[in-house]
Amino acid sequence: LPPGPPRLPIVGNLFNRPSGNQYHLRYMDSIATYGPIMSLKVFGRTTIVISDLKIANELLERRSANYSDRPSYRMMFDVLQWWWNPAIFRYSDTWRLHRKTFNDFFHQKAVQEYTPIQDAASYVCLRALLKTPEDFFDHVRRQAGSSVLEVVYGLKGRAYDNYIEIADKSFVSIDLAFTPGHFLIDFLPILKYAPPWVAFKRRGKQSAKYALAMREQPVTLVQEALADGSATPCMITKLLESQPHDRLDMIKNVTTVAFAAGADTTVSQNLTTIVALLHFPEVQKKAQEEVDRVIGRHRAPTCDDRTDLKYIEAITVEALRWRPVLPLGVGHASV
C-alpha cells in the first residue's frame, strides 16, 4: 500500500479522517507528509487518496477497467435513501443501462436541443437580477432548476416552486455522504441498525423522506398529464413511451439524477463564478467589454454566441478548476 499515517489497533486511521466542510483541504496536510498518493485504513477498509493529476489519469482513466467500481456508500443507501442514484451503483449491467440511457439525452449533440429552454430561463434570471439583485441566490437557483425541470419533466411555473423545495431538503448532507468514509456507517454497515436517536440517523431522517418524494412526485405528475393528453414532450415522456414497462424504476432513477445534478451542481458552480468575479473585478470588466464588443447592447447573449465569447468561456472553465463542486469527486473501487 502507499504510505500513510500510523495506524492504531483495530480502528486504524479512524482519527486521521478529515472532518468539516473543507475535508479536501484537510487531506493536503497529510499529502505534504506522505506524498501524492497515500493510504488510510479504518476498521480494515482501505482508502487511497490521490492528489496528483498524472497518477489519477493513469489509474482512473487508462486503467479504468480495474477501478470502475464504487465503494459502499451506506450513508447514501441506507440512511439518506439515495439508493436510486446511478452515480453510486456498483459496476454492473444495471449501471451500464442507466449510464447509456442518461447519455442518450445528455451527450454533446443532444444538449443542443435544450438551448432555447436555457436561453429563456437565463433571460428571466437577468430581468430578476435587475429588479431585485439582493435576491441573486434565488434567481440563480431558479434559472438552473427551472431549466432542468422543463428538460427532464416538461414542468413549469408552480411545479418548480413545489419541487425545488423538496429537492433542497433532500440535498442535506449529500455532499459529505459522497465522500467515502466520512460517516462511520460506511466502514461499519451494521450501524444501519443503530437506534433512530443516533446523530447520523437523526441527520438523515428528514432528507430521506424528501429524497424519495423527489424521485416519485414528478413521475406521477407526468403520468397523469400523459393520461389526459396535456404532457409536454421531454426526457421522461420519451422514456415512458419508448421503454418497456418493467424499466419504470430505471426511468425514475435516471430522470431524478438528471434533475438533481442540474439543479444542485449547476447552481453551486454558477454561484462560484459570481464569487470569483466579485473577487476579481478586473476580470469582470474584461468580460463585460467582450460582451459589448461581440454582442452589443441591443440584446442578451444566448447559447449560440458561446463560441464567439472566448473570454467568457475561459472564465467558466477557470471557475470549474478554481472551486470544483465535488473536490474529491466520487469514490472509485477496484473491480
pLDDT in tens, 275-290: 999 999 999 999 999 9
pTM of the complete model: 0.89
What region, left, alpha or beta, does residue 329 occupy, with left being phi > 0 and alpha being psi -120 to 50 degrees?
Answer: left
Q: How many CA atoms lie within 13 A of 99 on its CB side?
A: 11
Give the pLDDT of residue 92: 93
Average pLDDT in the chain? 90
Residue 115's CB is within 10 A of a number of other CB atoms, namely 15
Query: Could you tell me if 69 and 334 are in contact, meaning their C-beta atoms sit under 8 angstroms apart?
Result: yes
Give the pLDDT of residue 299: 93
Give the pLDDT of residue 206: 80
Cα separation, 139 vs 156, in Å, equals: 15
Cα separation, 254 vs 260, in Å, equals: 10
Cα separation, 30 vs 79, in Å, equals: 30
Residue 161's CB is within 10 A of a number of other CB atoms, namely 11
* Burial of 193 per CB tally in 10 Å (0-12, 13-18, 19+): exposed
In DSSP notation, 58-113 reads: IIIIITTTTS-B----HIIIIIS--TT-GGG--SSHHHHHHHHHHHHHHSTTGGGG
- Least-confidence region, from 10-14, 18-22, 135-139: 18-22
Instruction: Calculate mean pLDDT across residues 68-89.
Output: 91
Give the pLDDT of residue 310: 97
Q: Does position 10 have pLDDT exceeding 80, yes or no?
A: yes
Q: Does position 300 have pLDDT exceeding 80, yes or no?
A: yes
Give the pLDDT of residue 59: 94
Q: Indicate the pLDDT class of residue 202, thresholds 50, 70 and 90.
A: confident
Q: Which residue has the cell 423538496?
A: 166
- Please give the residue that has the higher pLDDT: either 100 or 164: 100
* Burial of 242 per CB tally in 10 Å (0-12, 13-18, 19+): exposed
Q: Which three cell numbers stand for residue 32?
A: 505534504
Give the pLDDT of residue 22: 67
Give the pLDDT of residue 180: 64
Q: What is the per-residue pLDDT across 31-46, written as a single tens digit (0 to 9) for each? A: 889 999 999 999 988 9
The torsion angle over the Cα atoms of residues 216, 217, 220 and 221, rounded to 10 degrees, is -150
Give the pLDDT of residue 19: 67
Q: What is the per-residue pLDDT across 110-159, written as a single tens digit (0 to 9) for each? A: 999 999 999 999 999 999 999 999 999 999 999 999 999 999 999 887 77
Give the pLDDT of residue 320: 92
Give the pLDDT of residue 20: 62
Cα separation, 291 vs 308, in Å, equals: 9
Cα separation, 147 vs 67, in Å, equals: 34
End-to-end CA distance of the chain: 17
**Residues 6+ away with beta carbon under 8 Å from 186:** 71, 72, 73, 74, 75, 180
Give the pLDDT of residue 244: 94
Handedness of CA 179, 183, 189, 192 (dihedral sign): negative
